[in-house]
């Protein structure tokens, strides 16, 4: 059974001294430690009056302290009187209430993000497309094609935006199934998928760790970080080089591009944030959501070459021998290397952590 938000209970006649557990599932509260009679014995003396008053009112919504397993903890009780006069409801740890409230706040914030995009970011290109199609009807010759091309570009942008929004909604979900994975294999697949320019190079500092993750979602995160490096590139137009290496509790992806200004590092993961006027601004937001879904932390810093460096930490590193994982995936590829044999500096020195 899935963990319930709390213990379903019944108080006969609203009696503050009695509590009958009706369903517990795998609640964070230990139902076996909860007394069925003399309930007030485990309630902190300073909180007993507040509990009695709440039960007298019929609609119960009260937080108080109990000592049921040799430790004092705050619980939250919510209930109401039924037609028999009993109080029925739920009892759960107060910290669960805070956690559930945070989850609801996060959901509300994401809904506000989507509403903002739908009302603004999608409306603008839609207006461009409609306007140019209308003007095309009054135009002649090459002017018609020019107007239709502009409408087509606006619709393409909308398509990209909708795809990113759907990905953003999906990546906010927690990861349910993970597998012991060779990070190098996922890196190689992601690099191949983005169809990087021929002059772009991937430099890997071997060995990369084996990690516990959802491979498909990690691959999307890496693809987005790689694309971010390539799209923003270097100011002088020189070929971009991307570096991947391990950390003591995770891994990093760095580049030798223009980097991210320190003043923007706190907002770079915000939905809609983009330094590219043609970008949707959701690529790095998706990266952050994927990391959070795994329980990881992701932060941006400056690479040794002055570019951007994304660090993924709190990652579950695993031993493939202990987990019984295969030595390597069958379609493993070796990415292009620089003369630096895999270091972020390109000089053969160990990468910074």
Report the relative pairing of strands 241-247 and 201-204 from DSSP bridges. Answer: parallel
Structure token digits, residue 80: 């109401």
Q: How many other CB atoms sit within 10 Å of the CB of residue 156?
A: 12
Q: What pLDDT, on a 0 to 100 scale, did the predictor assign at position 330?
A: 39
How far apart CA 280 and CA 69 sit, in angstroms, is: 52
Per-residue pLDDT of the chain (353 residues; tens, 9 = 90+): 445 568 899 999 999 999 998 887 666 777 778 887 889 988 988 889 889 999 998 789 988 888 877 777 888 899 999 999 999 999 888 775 665 666 677 667 766 766 665 665 566 678 888 888 889 888 888 888 898 998 888 888 777 667 666 665 655 556 667 899 999 999 999 999 887 888 899 999 989 999 999 888 898 889 889 988 988 776 667 889 999 999 999 999 999 988 888 888 878 887 654 555 554 567 788 889 889 888 899 999 999 988 999 999 999 998 776 655 654 443 443 444 343 344 564 433 334 44
Helix boundaries (H) for the chain: 48-57, 94-116, 123-136, 142-171, 183-193, 215-232, 283-294, 320-323
For residue 137, CA distances in Å to 130, 140, 146, 154 come to 11, 8, 12, 17
Q: What pLDDT, on a 0 to 100 scale, did the predictor assign at position 285?
A: 83
Structure token digits, residue 44: 């902190």
Q: Which of 255, 259, 282 is nearest to 271 (CA)?
A: 282
Q: Which of 307, 296, 300, 298 is nearest to 344 (CA)?
A: 307
Q: Which residues contact 347 (CB under 8 A, 6 or more apart)?
A: 340
How far apart CA 53 and CA 12 sit, in angstroms, is: 16
Structure token digits, residue 36: 């069925």
Residue 195, sorted as left (phi over 0), alpha (psi -120 to 50) or beta, turns out to be left
Q: What pLDDT, on a 0 to 100 scale, did the predictor assign at position 326?
A: 57
How far apart CA 284 and CA 271 sit, in angstroms, is: 8
Q: What pLDDT, on a 0 to 100 scale, did the predictor assign at position 168?
A: 58
- Helix (H) or strand (E) segment spanning residue 60: strand 60-67
Q: What pLDDT, on a 0 to 100 scale, did the predictor assign at position 75?
A: 86
Please tell me the pTM assigned to this model. 0.53
DSSP annotation of 342: T
Q: What pLDDT, on a 0 to 100 scale, did the predictor assign at position 281?
A: 62
């Amino acid at each position: 059974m899935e963990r319930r938000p709390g213990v379903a209970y019944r108080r006969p006649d609203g009696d503050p001294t009695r509590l009958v557990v009706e369903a517990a599932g795998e609640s964070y509260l230990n139902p076996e430690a909860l007394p069925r009679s003399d309930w007030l014995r485990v309630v902190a003396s300073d909180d007993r009056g507040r509990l009695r008053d709440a039960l007298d009112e019929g609609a119960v919504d009260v937080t108080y302290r109990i000592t049921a397993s040799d430790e004092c903890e705050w619980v939250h009780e919510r209930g109401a009187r039924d037609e028999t006069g009993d109080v029925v409801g739920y009892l759960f740890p107060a910290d669960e209430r805070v956690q559930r409230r945070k989850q609801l706040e996060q959901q509300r914030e994401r809904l506000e993000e989507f509403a903002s995009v739908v009302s603004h970011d999608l409306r603008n290109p839609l207006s461009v497309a409609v306007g140019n199609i209308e003007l095309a009807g009054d135009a002649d010759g090459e002017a018609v094609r020019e107007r239709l091309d502009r409408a087509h570009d606006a619709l393409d942008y909308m398509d990209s935006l909708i795809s990113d929004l759907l990905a953003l909604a999906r990546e906010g979900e927690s990861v349910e199934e993970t597998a012991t994975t060779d990070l190098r294999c996922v890196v190689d697949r992601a690099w191949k998928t983005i169809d990087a320019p021929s002059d772009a190079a991937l430099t890997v500092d071997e060995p990369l760790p084996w990690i516990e993750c959802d491979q498909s979602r990690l691959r999307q995160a890496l693809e987005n970080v790689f694309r971010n490096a390539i799209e923003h590139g270097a100011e002088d137009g020189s070929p971009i080089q991307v570096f991947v290496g391990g950390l003591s509790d995770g891994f990093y992806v760095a580049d030798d591009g223009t980097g991210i200004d320190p003043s923007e590092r706190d907002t770079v993961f915000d939905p809609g944030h983009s330094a590219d006027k043609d970008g949707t601004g959701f690529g790095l937001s998706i990266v952050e959501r994927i990391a959070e879904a795994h329980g990881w932390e992701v932060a941006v810093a400056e690479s040794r070459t002055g570019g951007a460096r994304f660090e993924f930490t709190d990652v579950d590193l695993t031993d493939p021998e202990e987990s019984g994982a295969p030595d390597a995936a069958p379609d493993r590829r070796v990415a292009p290397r620089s003369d630096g044999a895999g270091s972020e500096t390109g000089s053969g020195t160990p990468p910074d952590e």
